[in-house]
Structure 1
Amino acid sequence: MKIKKYTGETIQDVIFKVKADLGPEAIIIEKRKFQKGGIFGFFGKTVVEVLAALEEKSRPHYQPVDSRVSRKKEELVKEKLPDRPEELLKSETEAPKAEKIESKNIEDKNKERADFSAERKKDEKIEEDHKAEISVEKEIKESYKNTKIYNHLFHQGVEEDCLNSFINKLNKGAGFPLNDNYSEKIESFSRKYFADCSPIKIDKKRKVVSFIGPTGVGKTTTIAKIAAYFAVDKNKKVGLITADTYRIAAVEQLQTYSNIIDIPFKVCYSSGKLKSMIEGKFKNCDLIFIDTPGSSWKDQLQLGRLKDYTENEIIDEVHLLVSLNIKSRDMYNIIERFEKMNPDKILLTKLDETGSYGDLINIKERYNLPFSYLTFGQDVPEDINPACPEILFKYLFGDYHV
């Protein structure tokens, strides 16, 4: 018996595959449906799986040589067929081998069927676990959806799936029941939730940081703010490089900032010269910031050019700038397209142009990328905050307005 497993999106698709492979005489032994992919059983696609079989035609069975012949097979073969003794002897000796192979095939099919059943039970167990998790999620949602914290985050713009996930983590992380007096509990949890968020740190002799993002997000001004902080407040040697040669205004703007702060500045016209430039004019700098051309997230050619300024061996960190005053869906598109550049952190800009900060949680839940800075105006160097857990908590829960 020939047994095979087939999958498809519908039972009709699977039956078509079975008939095409095994023919119209095939029979369905088992069938089942399950969800493939998704989260906790949601958003996945339904897959139909069947186990089909075909009864193979039995081979003709030949009687062995008459038992009344008492001489050895070798002698009989030589006498009857003196010209081809080996072939006849081979056919006689292979008969029991064929039976063994057939027996082995049956054992293999039985094992395959047993494995299929075990796999099905495993899938059913996973599905049950998913249902249990969904039940827990639903229970948590029902428990907290009318509380102050749930309503507050919902009105802040946290999307429902991200909100339920955050509440679930909060429920586990806080270690005790929540109520409307949630401030201290939330603040304690936020320190853990945003623990990986932090500004740029000088943890080596020289650090090179590249800033990427869509056009108009505020890269040049943001770089000037961070450069001024390290050069003036921290007395560090900072260098500025711009690769944004498409906009003359961007070059002039960064040149002006470098003159005011009194730090070295250079224009990089080719990514191939970046390493020699850094090891030349900027060899004594503690920090080197690279301003890259703004790129539309829809333009794959422009995004491809950025890789030379993000995947270069001399680059230590890549920060992706995203404006918080745009639609969440557009923000997701930007992050997903720029993810190809492998950013280390996200830097959020234009927080002064919105009153909803729920995307802090949406981004963290969907992409698990830490934040580095938050900007909220054009003034250099004042309008910027490090994205530390305390600041993020204030934006989300402390009615913090800039």
Structure 2
Amino acid sequence: MKVKRYLVDDLPAAVQMIRGELGPDAMILSTKEIKTGGFMGMFGKKKVEVIAAVDEAARKTPARAQPPRLPKTAAPEIAATRQEEPLDGRPAVPGRAVRDLYSKQAGTASGDAPSAGTAVAVPVAESPPANPAAEALLQLLSAEKGKAAAAGGVPPAGPRTAGNAAANPGDMAEASLLLNELRAMKDMMARMARQQSFRSIPESVLRWSRRLAEQGVDPVHVEQFAEEVRERLHDREVPDEAASYEAAKEVLRSWLLPCAGSGIGQETRIVHFVGPTGVGKTTTIAKLAADQSFSHRRSVGFITADTYRISAVDQLRTYADILNSPLEVVFSPGELTRAYNKMADRDLLFMDTAGRNYRNELFVSEVNSLLAPGEKAETFLVLSLTHKYADMRAVAAQFSKYGIRRLLLTKADETDTYGSLLNLVREFAFPISYITCGQTVPDDIRLFDPEEWVLKLLGEPAHE
């Protein structure tokens, strides 16, 4: 079996190449649309990948002998029964008549007109190809080639007899009908290919799409963004920079506004913080505790289960001493009840969990066992904007399985690319409650403001 891959603009071009290189017995195994070139997955040119094969051994098999042909008067009966009788033990399909006709016409044009009782080789594929449309195009090409050979001025070698298929009106009518159907199918496929071609996007829209790509937004979301901006500008043939910028802001607002989360609720009693190592959970807890204590006049307490990291307990104890708040250390879920009872007089409890490799689901399930369920408990997933989005997505996917939906992003001051924020919103629909932007306690934390992050993602428009 000889297998070959073709990368072409359209299927008819692939058919011609396959017939020329692999011969008439070739079969198309699969076809697939792919994109080549482009920028960050955008604006790539659509190509068709075609996998074709030919069985070399099948070419050497002896020709199948057809039964002796009857006199011309019996030709209509043969034409009438040809569609009903199976070939090779399989039901006859339209298109075999075309191949049969092509084989007979090729033999006539070469000077070897079959007479009654002569064996005629009929190329029949061992199994139907995987793509019916490709098979139809192969049949069309074979039939048209046979017609060209017959109409090329080459006279038949002998007088027309009952064994000559070209003299059979039934065969010719059947072939003509099939050719018309296949031509219609070919035209339909060409129209579909034109409709699916990439539509042009104005340069002013491309500018903001490139900006999002530079910000680290996933190519899939960049393409969606470009399409939505283009649709908002449909009534402008050549939109200017200002109009495109406003349309781009509207699209990002529509994406970010539904994910603007609230802060810590007044009815909340326990707040858990989970997330991987190094994202700043402990410092974030100190900022929120100071804000709740000074601004909202709530008494706070601290619980920590972060017994893996050196001096993690001491760091939180320092913050607790500054705020004059109690601290409890727990080593297992069984000790949580004791800690809650000891701080029953506190309005709000902040619980710090250990930073682990939460790409591992086992660690995720361990920390989930420490979280107290109930309507008065909230859990924040803490992620750093300085991390790669692939790692952030893996961690978010693990915690989302356990129903953790609220997001808190840290270290916004340590990066200039914010695409991961938009990726998380689009992929997980997480509400974002807080953003931290420095180490100062309690100042460097604020509620998530969609308008601020629309401007950060797009940047300022160019002023000429």
Q: TM-score, normalised by structure 2?
A: 0.52
Q: Which residue of 2 aligns with 1:160?
A: 219
Which of 283, 301, 307 is the equivalent residue of 1:239?
Answer: 301
Indicate if the aligned counterparts of 1:147 and 1:179 stay in contact, CA closer than 8 A: no
Which of 285, 289, 295 is the equivalent residue of 1:223?
Answer: 285
Q: CA deviation at 1:308?
A: 1.0
Which of 298, 302, 314 is the equivalent residue of 1:252?
Answer: 314
Indicate if the aligned counterparts of 2:384 and 2:410 stay in contact, CA closer than 8 A: yes
What SS does the aligned partner of 1:382 have? Answer: coil
Could you tell me how far apart the structure 2 residues matched to 1:167 and 1:279 are?
A: 55
Which of 339, 349, 364 is the equivalent residue of 2:400?
Answer: 339
Which of 315, 323, 331 is the equivalent residue of 2:384?
Answer: 323
Matched, 1:299 2:360: yes
Q: Which residue of 1 aligns with 2:450?
A: 389
Could you list the per-position Cα deviations for residues 303-360 of structure 1 after superposition, in whole angstroms to 9, with x for gaps in the alignment? Answer: 2201113463476322111121122222222222333332222221222222111122
Relative contact order (alpha carbons < 8 A, sep ≥ 6): 1 or 2 greater?
1
Indicate if the aligned counterparts of 1:211 and 1:219 stay in contact, CA closer than 8 A: yes
Structure 2 stretches lacking a partner, 5+ long? 1-28, 32-87, 95-129, 133-188
Matched, 1:150 2:212: no
Q: Taking structure 1 as reference, are residues 397 and 264 closer, same or farther at Cα in structure 2, changes over 3 Å only?
A: farther
What SS does the aligned partner of 2:398 have? Answer: helix
Matched, 1:373 2:434: yes
Q: CA deviation at 1:147?
A: 3.6
Which of 111, 121, 139 is the equivalent residue of 2:199?
Answer: 139
Q: Which residue of 2 aligns with 1:18?
A: none
Q: Which residue of 1 aligns with 2:118?
A: none
The structure with the largest alpha-carbon Rg is 2
Could you list the per-position Cα deviations for residues 39-98 of structure 1 after superposition, in whole angstroms to 9, with x for gaps in the alignment? Answer: xxxxxxxxx799xxxxxxxxxxxxxxxxxxxxxxxxxxxxxxxxxxxxxxxxxxxxxxxx
What SS does the aligned partner of 2:311 have? Answer: helix
Q: Which residue of 2 aligns with 1:114?
A: none
Matching of residues 2-401 of structure 1 within 5 Å: 138-139=198-199, 142-143=201-202, 147-170=206-229, 179-181=240-242, 182-198=244-260, 200-275=262-337, 277-285=339-347, 287-310=348-371, 312-313=373-374, 316-398=377-459
User: Identity over aligned residues, as a percent?
Assistant: 32
Q: Taking structure 1 as reference, are residues 202 and 358 closer, same or farther at Cα in structure 2, changes over 3 Å only?
A: closer
Q: Which residue of 1 aligns with 2:125?
A: none
- Which amino acid in structure 2 is aligned with residue 139 of structure 1? R
Q: Taking structure 1 as reference, are residues 212 and 144 closer, same or farther at Cα in structure 2, changes over 3 Å only?
A: farther
Bigger drift between 222-231 and 259-268 goes to 259-268
- Which amino acid in structure 2 is aligned with residue 358 of structure 1? G
Could you tell me how far apart the structure 2 residues matched to 1:256 and 1:323 are?
A: 23
Could you list the per-position Cα deviations for residues 189-245 of structure 1 after superposition, in whole angstroms to 9, with x for gaps in the alignment? Answer: 544422244455354533322111111111111111111112112322222211112
Q: Taking structure 1 as reference, are residues 226 and 256 closer, same or farther at Cα in structure 2, changes over 3 Å only?
A: same
- Which amino acid in structure 2 is aligned with residue 251 of structure 1? V
Could you list the per-position Cα deviations for residues 278-303 of structure 1 after superposition, in whole angstroms to 9, with x for gaps in the alignment? Answer: 35414441x32211111103433322
Structure 1 stretches lacking a partner, 5+ long? 1-8, 12-23, 31-47, 51-127
Indicate if the aligned counterparts of 2:384 and 2:409 stay in contact, CA closer than 8 A: yes
Indicate if the aligned counterparts of 1:239 and 1:282 stay in contact, CA closer than 8 A: no
Please give the root-mean-square deviation of Cα atoms over the aligned residues, in Å.
3.7
Q: Which residue of 2 aligns with 1:82?
A: none
Q: CA deviation at 1:27?
A: 6.4
Q: CA deviation at 1:261?
A: 2.0
Could you tell me how far apart the structure 2 residues matched to 1:338 and 1:27 are?
A: 55
Q: CA deviation at 1:393?
A: 2.1
Q: Taking structure 1 as reference, are residues 274 and 163 closer, same or farther at Cα in structure 2, changes over 3 Å only?
A: same
- Which amino acid in structure 1 is aligned with residue 318 of structure 2? T
What SS does the aligned partner of 1:195 have? Answer: helix
Q: CA deviation at 1:28?
A: 10
Could you tell me how far apart the structure 2 residues matched to 1:28 and 1:336 are?
A: 52
Could you tell me how far apart the structure 1 residues matched to 2:227 and 2:315 are?
A: 46
